[in-house]
């Protein structure tokens, strides 16, 4: 029997969405999932959505973090939350002009391609406007889960808002 590609996918931002944002964190021991993250991710898996993480990590370009430190933090996230699919990380700084750094769509498009899912069948859940902009530029659905660092203009511009990661999953799964 031939396996078919997943029909839908959810792409998750890491810092501030899956885990509490610790700026430029290179220490796996400092990883703390946001409230309800494990249950929310489990619900996405149970519903059959393919998963990926799309994360800007400019600390690499700034010389604050090594790729190995980012990988170690990502591994800790998966140890706490379970498998999250491919990890797509932009190691560039804001002025590097790459296509992968959110708000550009490169990470979202690459995740969709890796999973074999049309971007229109994907959703991005994130905590800042760059996550929303990347999703929209790629043709994907965007759900913003504001945190203390989310600017008010980003909240106003978001096509969909959720108070928590669990509520964002409710939106994706069509729960009341």
**Active-site residues: which are they?**
13, 15
CA distance 16 to 68: 21
Report yes or no: 69 and 26 within 8 Å, Cβ to Cβ. yes
d(CA 171, CA 77): 23
Q: 10-23 as b/e, with b when 16 or more CB fall inside 10 Å?
A: bbbbbbbbbbebee
């Amino acid at each position: 029997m031939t396996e078919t590609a997943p029909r839908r996918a959810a792409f998750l931002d890491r810092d501030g969405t899956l885990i509490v944002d610790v700026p430029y964190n290179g220490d796996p021991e400092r990883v703390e999932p946001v409230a309800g993250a494990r249950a929310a991710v489990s619900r996405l898996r149970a519903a059959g959505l393919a998963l990926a993480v799309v994360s800007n990590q400019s600390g690499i370009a700034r010389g604050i973090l090594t790729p190995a430190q980012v990988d170690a933090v990502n591994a800790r996230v998966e140890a706490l939350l379970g498998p999250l699919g491919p990890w797509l990380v932009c190691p560039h700084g804001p002025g590097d002009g790459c296509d992968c750094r959110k708000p550009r769509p490169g990470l979202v498009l690459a995740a969709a391609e890796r999973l074999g899912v049309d971007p229109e069948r994907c959703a991005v859940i994130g905590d800042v406007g760059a996550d929303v902009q990347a999703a929209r530029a790629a043709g994907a659905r965007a759900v913003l889960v504001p945190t203390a660092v989310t600017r008010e203009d980003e909240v106003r511009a978001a096509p969909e808002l959720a108070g928590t990661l669990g509520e964002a999953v409710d939106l994706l799964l069509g729960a009341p």
